[in-house]
Structure 1
């Protein structure tokens, strides 16, 4: 009788633990969220984790180093024997993940620079990184087509469908945490969890290349429009962000992100994304510096009219949209004061 009681107790404990796992989740990811199943899957298999307050922030944009961690966890990539020698030598939490990805020569920008790692990752980079691991070395167009063919991802700008593959996919747009997890979930559903021969050959490293060389090989695979150079010491360069949660709903937030790179004494490149829960948009282009603290952009890299004024504050960037309606949805714009990260 005692054995039966013990068995029953063990069964109850086991079932209780199993229920806890199944019931685990994040308070900002309700069951009717489009990525609910994907996020629950990723949490169960320790691919993702949330924040200390019990949230996942599914609609927040994802940085390259956060994406790097998800890739390593999904593929369970092995650690190399050596470590990267970075241009920014300060050790940070993502070093472990970039060391592993470098071993497999995955196309990413941030191997040698902590600032680039902290910048939001573009859809084109995500496409090339995933395709490299799943299907081997591929150009940007080939990577996009791979994701579309297997319905791992879909396009964003349907006015360009069958006209311009890169614009249709939205290669320069940022991705949210939920979108990336959804991609990985679909990869799992389609059994794309084995590492490609190209990636494995880099890791096996029969040519005895250094880890830095393999990382550089990965960087060089990126299409030129996806590559980010190491920021100079210009005060303009850097990542800027603003986030405000004004309600309890999953769409009750305002977010602005900007990344300035390649700044000279005359101009700089800027990429901005805006998301107000249900309305969103992004723009990139070149801004002309008009004074030590001010700059202006008159058109986007797409050639559309986009007048934005910039003011560099103390550890912040003030953006005033004069007219840029062709680059974002109705109901939101790029105006705001963003804190330097």
Structure 2
């Protein structure tokens, strides 16, 4: 059994079959990636292990600026991340080829901007976002500076502006600059050479958590450095993350927690995901709430069409939640009711 690790499987096959001619056969098939290209070996490797594919015209376009959704695909493929059971509720219900990759990355809490917006996904990804996303999976939750330093320490990437070396880390790295498709592949190839395939404890614990995909994606967005944030403009005071947390004992279950994430706000309603924990009892519900007034809304059914009635009221920097009837979505001993502060 190959343990789903295509890289190891290939090496084992090569040793046992002694197919050295395989190296010749595995040359990059893209007509715009000649053997003297600086990223030729990396692109050849990535194509061999199905991390990348090219365009219909037989090109890879290595010098093109890489978008966030293209990077999301590469990163999810490199780590062979598992797909979660649920899916993100986005600003539009239209399907997009990148949906599965963003669902997988959200499941592990990877810092990215485009979880809910196709327009943001299609914009150029900044070097700082790439640094934080890679460092999160390989080394755990990190701020921008720590993420950049991780890449530099292991020579996964190098700085762009030598005049700032030892003076200004983010400017030295070029955190707000764009990358090409070839540059990102080169980073991942160096990750491969240094055997950075193990997923960090932070990322794995996020994947194993009971929080909804929407909540994990929102937290992942907030993990990005403020200088890298790209969000869909909203004038609604409803939108945001709301939470209440109280620890009353030493056990892991000795907590009272309420959390709600409101997104995709229109004049008619918004999507909402809510989680509640009281000790070992918990519950989760996700759906679309309908506005009943400027400051009030009501959820009457979940995203899969099941009955669940919860009233929501907007307060100054807070959200009041009153469960009316949502028993099938929670354990006995916990309700979704409470007043949560905006984070």
**TM over 0.5: same fold?**
yes
Question: What does residue 212 of structure 1 align with?
Answer: 214
Give the RMSD, CA atoms, in angstroms.
1.8
Instruction: Tell me which moved more, 19-28 or 152-161.
Output: 19-28
Confirm or deny: 8 A CA contact 1:110 1:117 kept in the other structure: yes
More displaced stretch, 224-233 vs 29-38: 224-233
Q: TM (normalized to structure 1)?
A: 0.62
Tell me the CA shift for residue 19 of structure 1: 6.5
Q: Could you say which residue in structure 2 is the equivalent of 1:82? A: 86
Aligned length: 218
**Aligned with 2:42 (options 38, 41, 48):** 38
Pairwise CA distance, 1:88:
2.6
2:30 counterpart SS class: coil
Rounded to whole Å, the distance in 1 between the matches of 2:152 and 2:20 is 41
- Residues in 1 aligned to 2:233 and 2:127: alpha-carbon distance in whole angstroms: 21
Distance across 2 between alignment mates of 1:109 and 1:195: 21
Give the structure 2 partner of residue 224 of structure 1: 226
Q: What's the CA shift for 1:127?
A: 0.2
Asked if structure 1 preserves the Cα contact closer than 8 Å seen for 2:51 and 2:77, the reply is yes
CA 1:160–1:24 in 2, change beyond 3 Å: closer, same or farther?
Answer: closer
TM-score, normalization: structure 2?
0.61
Match of 1:268 in 2: none
Contact 2:28–2:43 under 8 Å retained in 1: no
Partners in 1 of 2:231 and 2:49 — Cα distance? 34
* Distance (Å, rounded) in 2 between the aligned partners of 1:164 and 1:192: 27
| 1:117-156 to 2 correspondences below 5 Å | 117-156=121-160
Check conservation: 1:111, 1:215, Cα contact below 8 A: yes
Partner of 1:26: 30
- Misfit runs of 4+, over 3 Å: 14-21
Q: Please give the alpha-carbon distance, in whole angstroms, between the structure 2 residues aligned to 1:141 and 1:16.
A: 42
Alpha-carbon offset, residue 22 of structure 1:
1.5
| 8 Å Cα contact 2:27-2:44 kept in structure 1 | no
Deviation at residue 87 of structure 1 after TM alignment: 1.5
- Stretches of structure 2 lacking an aligned partner (at least 5 in a row): 1-17, 236-343
Residue 139 (structure 1) shift: 0.1
Stretches of structure 1 that go unaligned for 5 or more consecutive residues are 1-13, 234-341
Following superposition of structure 1 onto structure 2, how do residues 3-82 of structure 1 map, counting pairs within 5 Å? Answer: 18=22, 21-82=25-86
Cα distance, 1:15–1:99 mapped onto 2, change above 3 Å = same
Match of 1:198 in 2: 202
**CA, structure 1 residues 31+90, in 2 after alignment: closer, same or farther (shift >3 Å)?**
same
Deviation at 1:108, TM superposition (A): 0.1
User: For the Cα contact (< 8 Å) 2:28–2:40, is it kept in 1?
Assistant: no
Q: Please give the per-residue CA displacement for 1:35-87, whole angstroms capped at 9, x wherever unaligned.
A: 00000000000000111111110000000000000001000000001000012
SS in 2 for 1:23: coil
CA distance in 1, matches of 2:192, 2:19: 26
CA distance in 2, matches of 1:155, 1:116: 26
Say yes or no: does 1:96 pair with 2:136.
no
- Distance in 1, Cα, partners of 2:208 & 2:184: 28
